[in-house]
Structure 1
């Protein structure tokens, strides 16, 4: 599983949610160092002069040092690292993704002052990153449990399911595999597709409680309804053209911007065998 957790922080309300989720995720690592890396990004292209850029950097460095110190005091089992980076926030956060790294960003799915920026940021980072990205919304008071994975017939579907199974094992929760059937298929055919894709997960994780769910109708609506009860949603992303670095696929974008629970987007690179 992805050993290092990198979280973007800018002192906003949505970033605080991302920090809390990232800490919890890092603490659940079953083996090896529990690394939490907090990055503060200074978009100094907006500064009017060198003095303002220096002031922004000094402020960010001081605030980040205070946060990192608090996290180390509260969670001595974590290896907390921190760094101030410079550049456009979406591009810088996406660049942190990698073979052994899960990037965590805050996202807002309600109409607050941060809505347009943070919701767009989560989708943008997920669309640009070459590794998995977790977008953490404000959420609600609903009791939630289980990791949900959206299962399709793409080449990377099995790898996305395996990622979700590892996450569910990490969290000690059940895995809920959801497949939205195709209108030209009968129920038996769609169930066969779902069973075939999740079979390797059931074999590799014999102690994991795996439940399959077959849905019909619009894909986005069906997945969002199922996501209401889950603590985390995992979805693969398809990138089919040069504009992949700007846009997610329609399903993953809808989940990132509308689900009330954390959504992890697994890009094509991370769907390849490791």
Structure 2
């Protein structure tokens, strides 16, 4: 991989959108621009040209980017792509502050790097063109396990589908404040309802107790976000399949960034490709301990 150049001065707390030439990148860009405009945050549109040190081209790592024709052309194409994306955003949101960025890096590690000062990172799913070092179809999970801020993975989905708001998958035994905070805040900003879901395979008595715990968890957020209509949902059976089925009709799925601690750990508690990379709607993965954006 090429050596990292000093970062330009980027606005702190921005929404960062990673783009490439694929159609789903337009969906991710539009999603990021709409959210940035709603939250009145700046938008950084970043395109990464890719790693240079591949087989047969390791000499590019030591080439001068100002004089080497191959690097000049990569830079030119990247700048053209970002300029087109910026024009698309400006036409959609004329008053939105947009910062273009082209880097000679693999996109996935670059987005992880930028997440240290961002409020949110947004990318298209399936990983087309995002990094040769990440298996296709697993980029969402790869990013979600590494970013410092929440990351949104936007799939190629039908914009005409009637949707029913925000779906938050949570664990009751360890209430996930960051997950619910993101879900409620997003719902409030975008004027959407919230469904708080937990999956359980326990006995009926256990489920009744869980239902009460779930309602209690939601009650505090109802006081803080009185404008958000919310309800709780206890899901029997396999949680992954249940979440994906519900996500078919949702604007956004919100889950937590955890690592499994047992053989039967709920996927509500950590990132799994079966959720992030297969979700039929935009999915945000929230670090369980995420600081307030600058």
- TM interval, short-chain normalised: 0.7 to 0.9
Cα distance in 1 for residues equivalent to 2:224 and 2:231: 15
Match of 1:189 among 193, 209, 215: 209
Partner residue, 1:144? 163
Unaligned runs of 5+ in 2: 1-11, 262-267
Cα distance in 2 for residues equivalent to 1:127 and 1:228: 24
TM-score (ref. length: structure 2): 0.79
Partner residue, 1:245? none
**Contact 1:156–1:268 (8 Å) recurs in 2:** no
Partner residue, 1:171? 190
- What is the Cα deviation at residue 19 of structure 1? 0.7
Partner residue, 1:204? 224
**Contact 2:169–2:255 (8 Å) recurs in 1:** yes
Partner residue, 2:275? 255
Where do residues 26-65 of structure 1 align in structure 2 (5 Å cutoff)? Answer: 26-29=36-39, 33-46=40-53, 48=57, 49=60, 50=63, 51=68, 52-65=70-83
Cα distance in 2 for residues equivalent to 1:56 and 1:119: 25
Secondary structure of 1:190 counterpart: helix
Secondary structure of 1:28 counterpart: helix
Match of 1:21 among 23, 31, 36: 31
Once superposed, which parts of structure 1, at least 4 consecutive aligned residues long, lie more than 6 Å away? none
- What is the Cα deviation at residue 250 of structure 1? 5.9
* Structure 1 or 2: more helix by fraction: 1
**Contact 2:257–2:269 (8 Å) recurs in 1:** yes
**Contact 1:38–1:80 (8 Å) recurs in 2:** yes
- What is the Cα deviation at residue 142 of structure 1? 2.9
Partner residue, 1:82? 100
- What is the Cα deviation at residue 80 of structure 1? 0.8
**Contact 1:93–1:103 (8 Å) recurs in 2:** yes
With over 3 angstroms needed to count, the CA separation of the structure-2 counterparts of 1:172 and 1:17, relative to structure 1, is same
Partner residue, 2:147? 129
- What is the Cα deviation at residue 62 of structure 1? 2.8
Cα distance in 2 for residues equivalent to 1:217 and 1:44: 43
Partner residue, 2:4? none
Unaligned runs of 5+ in 1: 242-247
Cα distance in 2 for residues equivalent to 1:154 and 1:54: 54
Partner residue, 1:222? 242
Secondary structure of 1:200 counterpart: helix
Cα distance in 2 for residues equivalent to 1:211 and 1:252: 25
- What is the Cα deviation at residue 121 of structure 1? 1.7
Partner residue, 1:8? 18
**Contact 1:7–1:22 (8 Å) recurs in 2:** yes
**Contact 2:259–2:270 (8 Å) recurs in 1:** no
- What is the Cα deviation at residue 46 of structure 1? 4.2
With over 3 angstroms needed to count, the CA separation of the structure-2 counterparts of 1:53 and 1:154, relative to structure 1, is farther
Cα distance in 1 for residues equivalent to 2:167 and 2:98: 29
- What is the Cα deviation at residue 113 of structure 1? 10
TM-score (ref. length: structure 1): 0.84
What root-mean-square deviation, in Å, do the aligned CA atoms of Structure 1 and Structure 2 show?
A: 2.8
- What is the Cα deviation at residue 182 of structure 1? 4.1
